[in-house]
């Protein structure tokens, strides 16, 4: 334990020394500001692992590592002003009892008393439910007055729910960890929060009855905040954050995710055995067998550690898969498709090409669930995904957008290629059903990307075409009337 602490302290000193040489070139006014200030007081969320927390009066977590970087870059010390809750942390900043908060989202309510730096860390938000709700709750729209959502007062999700979904019942909790426990125990039906924090707690506690239902439109875009009357400090922090290298961000992220296993070696017994060997031959023989037994036990312990590490790696791979792929159909999920679409738009700006967005929706799918049950409905969705995938090229990407709605992004040499692909899909769907499944059909709307489109506008045009196809009776496709 002492050796581990010594290594950690030496690493921290070396890191600080390496960064000290890169102090920022601040303006004379900013140097004067820091000189007059002396030290910078800051407050944190006392219970937001692994981003930040207070344990035994000490600040730990990702934001602690960023504070260390800031101290070395601007040459000024920071000191923690402890708080008992996140609400108290926000109150302290509003009352100027601390100068800054190192990690939080921008919201309208907070902007009334704070000014914010640029975003320096992003993390998706997800909804977590118990396994029994994995088919019925995927987002806020699926929640009814009979459901209860765990929320932390003062968090971004609390403000979002009060503004956009006032009818949803909420259960106040002290932290995301507390909220996950309440959901696991059945006191609440869902909780929304950061993917990193949720997976951190689910792994640590082994909450096997929880399910990451889906990603949410909101995501954590973490910034630093100062009081609204302190613009100079905001400019200093923005300058410092802009000079943090990508590798430093990555090191901080890896430090706090995933959970790591440390191995300790105690050399005291070896010294004792060596000393006794030089003194008494008989004791040496006795110790030889003791060390042999100890090595056997250490080998067993190391094997157990390797197995635990292997299990953690498997769980991490599984969680990574869950964060990008739909658990039922194996298609990309909503968040992964959204990221893919944004990448495609950036690529189009560099090299324009013909890209189409297809929105597919199974016709009268609710009747299949009502007449045959949700188990058969799930098999139909899997079968639909398999048939569509057989029609696609390697460059075409399929995603489950939600429920029975799917998206496809395709690249084409000619505009007619889109309708050729759609005809191939429609023919495959109309073929005889597999494995005694009921017959089903789908409708498709599609739109070509046009210069200046955002993803939302592109999707809206394809979705309008889908609506026209379904209004005409379904089992057909329609091209956006605004395609050029």
Q: Could you list the pLDDT tens digit for every one of the 484 residues in the chain?
A: 444 444 333 444 343 444 443 457 789 999 999 999 999 999 999 988 889 999 999 999 999 999 999 999 999 999 999 999 999 999 999 999 999 999 999 999 999 999 999 999 998 888 898 888 888 887 778 888 888 988 887 787 777 888 888 888 889 888 888 888 988 998 998 888 888 888 888 888 888 888 887 677 778 899 999 999 999 999 999 999 999 999 999 899 888 875 443 334 444 555 665 666 677 776 666 667 777 776 777 677 667 777 767 776 776 666 666 778 998 999 999 999 999 999 999 999 999 999 999 999 999 999 999 999 999 999 999 999 999 999 999 989 999 999 999 999 999 988 888 999 999 999 999 998 887 899 999 999 999 999 999 999 999 999 999 999 999 999 999 999 877 6
For the question of whether the overall pTM of this predicted structure is more than 0.85, the answer is no
Residues 135 and 252 grouped into a single domain: no
The domain that holds 393 is classified in CATH as 3.30.70.270
360 within domain boundaries:
yes
Sign of torsion over alpha carbons 404, 409, 412, 416:
positive
Give the 3-state secondary structure of residue 477.
strand
The answer to whether the beta carbons of residues 463 and 445 sit under 8 Å apart is yes
Instruction: State how far the Cα of 342 lies from the Cα of 162, in Å rounded to an integer.
Output: 30
Biggest CA-to-CA distance, the chain: 97
Residues 235 and 250 grouped into a single domain: yes
Residues 475 and 338 grouped into a single domain: yes
The domain that holds 160 is classified in CATH as 3.40.190.10
Residues 211 and 305 grouped into a single domain: no
Residues 158 and 57 grouped into a single domain: no
Instruction: State how far the Cα of 338 lies from the Cα of 340, in Å rounded to an integer.
Output: 5
The answer to whether the beta carbons of residues 76 and 239 sit under 8 Å apart is no
Residues 347 and 281 grouped into a single domain: no
Residues 185 and 250 grouped into a single domain: no
pLDDT reported for residue 147: 87
263 within domain boundaries:
no
Residue 132: DSSP 8-state: G
84 within domain boundaries:
yes
Residues 186 and 176 grouped into a single domain: yes
User: For the chain, how many structural domains are there in total?
Assistant: 4
Count the Cβ atoms, other than its own, within 10 Å of residue 423: 12
Residues 14 and 89 grouped into a single domain: yes
Last residue of a domain, one of 302, 322, 342: 322
pLDDT reported for residue 419: 93
Which DSSP string corresponds to 47-97?
Answer: EETTTEEEETTEEESHHHHHHHHHHHHHT-EEEE---SSHHHHHHHHHTTS
Question: What domain range is 34 assigned to?
Answer: 2-120+222-256
Residues 136 and 97 grouped into a single domain: no
Residues 206 and 228 grouped into a single domain: no
262 within domain boundaries:
no
Residues 176 and 246 grouped into a single domain: no
116 within domain boundaries:
yes
329 within domain boundaries:
no
Sign of torsion over alpha carbons 86, 90, 95, 100:
positive
Which DSSP string corresponds to 257-294?
Answer: SS---------HHHHHHHHHHHH-HHHHHHHHHHHHHH
261 within domain boundaries:
no
């Amino acid at each position: 334990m002492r050796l581990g602490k010594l290594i950690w302290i030496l690493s921290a000193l070396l890191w600080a020394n390496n960064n000290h040489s890169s102090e920022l070139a601040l303006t004379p006014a900013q140097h004067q500001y820091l000189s007059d200030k002396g030290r910078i007081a800051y407050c944190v969320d006392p219970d937001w692992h692994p981003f930040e927390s207070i344990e035994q009066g000490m600040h730990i977590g990702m934001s602690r590592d960023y504070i260390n970087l800031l101290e070395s870059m601007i040459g000024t010390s920071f000191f923690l002003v402890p708080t008992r809750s996140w609400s108290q942390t926000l109150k302290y900043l509003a009352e100027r009892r601390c100068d800054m908060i190192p990690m939080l989202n921008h919201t309208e309510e907070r902007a009334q008393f704070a000014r914010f730096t640029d975003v320096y860390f992003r993390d998706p938000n997800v909804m977590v439910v118990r396994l029994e709700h994995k088919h019925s709750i995927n987002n806020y729209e699926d929640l009814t007055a009979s459901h209860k959502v765990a929320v932390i007062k003062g968090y971004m999700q609390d403000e979002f729910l009060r503004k956009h979904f006032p009818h949803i019942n909420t259960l106040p909790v002290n932290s995301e960890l507390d909220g996950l426990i309440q959901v696991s125990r059945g006191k609440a039906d869902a909780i929304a929060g950061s993917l990193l924090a949720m997976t951190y707690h689910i792994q640590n506690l082994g909450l096997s009855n929880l399910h990451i239902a889906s990603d949410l439109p909101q995501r954590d875009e973490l910034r630093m905040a100062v009081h609204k009357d302190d613009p100079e400090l905001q400019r200093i922090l923005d300058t410092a954050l802009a000079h943090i290298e990508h590798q430093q961000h990555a090191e901080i992220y890896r430090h706090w995710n995933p959970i790591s296993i440390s191995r300790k070696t105690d050399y005291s017994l070896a010294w004792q055995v060596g000393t006794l060997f030089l003194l008494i031959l008989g004791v040496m023989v006795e110790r030889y067998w003791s060390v042999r037994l100890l090595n056997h036990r250490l080998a067993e312990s190391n094997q157990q550690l390797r197995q635990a590490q292997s299990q953690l790696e498997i769980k991490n791979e599984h969680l990574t898969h869950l964060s990008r792929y739909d658990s039922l159909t194996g298609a990309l999920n909503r968040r992964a498709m959204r990221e893919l679409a944004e990448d495609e738009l950036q690529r189009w700006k560099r090299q324009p090409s013909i890209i189409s967005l297809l929105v597919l929706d199974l016709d009268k799918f609710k009747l299949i669930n009502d007449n045959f049950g949700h188990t058969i409905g799930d098999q139909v969705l899997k079968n639909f995904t398999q048939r569509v995938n057989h029609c696609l090229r390697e460059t075409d990407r399929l995603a489950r957008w939600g429920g029975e709605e799917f998206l496809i992004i395709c690249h084409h040499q000619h505009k007619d290629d889109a309708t050729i692909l759609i005809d191939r899909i429609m023919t495959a769907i109309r073929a005889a059903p597999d494995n005694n499944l009921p017959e089903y059909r789908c409708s498709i709307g599609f739109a070509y990307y046009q210069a200046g489109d955002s993803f939302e506008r592109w999707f809206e045009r394809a979705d309008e075409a889908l609506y026209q196809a379904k209004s005409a009776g379904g089992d057909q496709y329609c091209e956006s009337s605004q395609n050029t």
